[in-house]
Amino acid sequence: MTADASGNAQKIEEVAAPKAKPVKKPETLLDNVKTIVYALGLALVLRVFLFQPFNIPSESMRPNLLVGDYIFVSKWDYGYSKHSIPFSPNIFSGRIMGATPARGDIVVFKLPRDGQTDYIKRVIGLPGDRVQIANGAVILNGSPIKRERLDDDIQSDAFGNIQRFERWRETNPEGKTYLTYNIEDGGQFDDTGVYVVPEGHLFMMGDNRDNSLDSRAPMEIGVGFVPMVNVVGRARLIFLSFKEDTKLFLPWTWFTGLRLDRIAVTAE
């Protein structure tokens, strides 16, 4: 308090000085590097333990998977091996929390003869199974897998040529149902001997039966029996799909080539 000239007391307002705003520390190169490392670490954890994206480069799994499909592959279904990790480092052997795929599952695996190339096929035979192909039909443990003839799939290629695919609905002993293509009768692998699947291995086939190099061909030229350790994961979901004429460097084709009917579709 203070007094004015007349002696009356007068209150003096105390004005608080404005607080200084904290100065944001400029990001350093080290901060940026840390952010990138954290992001890469999170992406690696997701890729190794949860999901890994793949794209379909060939027609061996038609009509269920098409060239231009982008799929998520789950990593936990069958456990983890060195092939769950980028570049397949030889840091442990076998599988951790391993489980055997079911017949009918679509599986991504490393090609046995090089351990690096990613392949995708359907599981037909499990360890101990006896698999044979007779007149294009799969004989599993002495009994034909049930199959039903459907209407032909008629399509035109990029040049306007009409293509006709013979369609079959196959139902395996577990009740798993999926479609297959037959392009020609008397194809190279339409009639085979009996394959006995070794312990710890799988017998794989493509759904486009006359256009798939799979376990029907010996490992030296095809796939052969696939060791369980080579399994990467199970195909779960098609999250994007582009027509084959979509071009990376022609952005407008990203929209015209998008297959809307194949977005968020289960991979079966």
Instruction: Read off the pTM.
Output: 0.82
How many whole angstroms separate alpha carbon 256 and alpha carbon 268?
26
Q: Please state, in angstroms and as integers, the Cα–Cα distance from residue 27 to each residue in 31, 33, 40, 184, following that order.
A: 6, 10, 19, 64
Please name the helix (run of DSSP H) or strand (run of DSSP E) that holds residue 43, with its range, or none: helix 29-49
How many whole angstroms separate alpha carbon 47 and alpha carbon 74?
9
Domain ranges of the chain: 44-266
pLDDT in tens, 11-35: 444 445 556 565 556 668 776 777 7
How many whole angstroms separate alpha carbon 23 and alpha carbon 226?
60
177 within 8 A of 168, measured Cβ to Cβ: no
In the CATH scheme, what is the code of domain 44-266? Answer: 2.10.109.10
96 within 8 A of 78, measured Cβ to Cβ: no
pLDDT in tens, 206-236: 999 999 999 999 999 999 999 999 999 999 9
Catalytic residue of the set 82, 121, 215, 241: 121
Q: Is 21 a catalytic residue?
A: no
Q: Is 34 a catalytic residue?
A: no
Q: Where are the beta strands (DSSP E) in 141-187?
A: 143-144, 146-149, 153-156, 162-171, 177-182
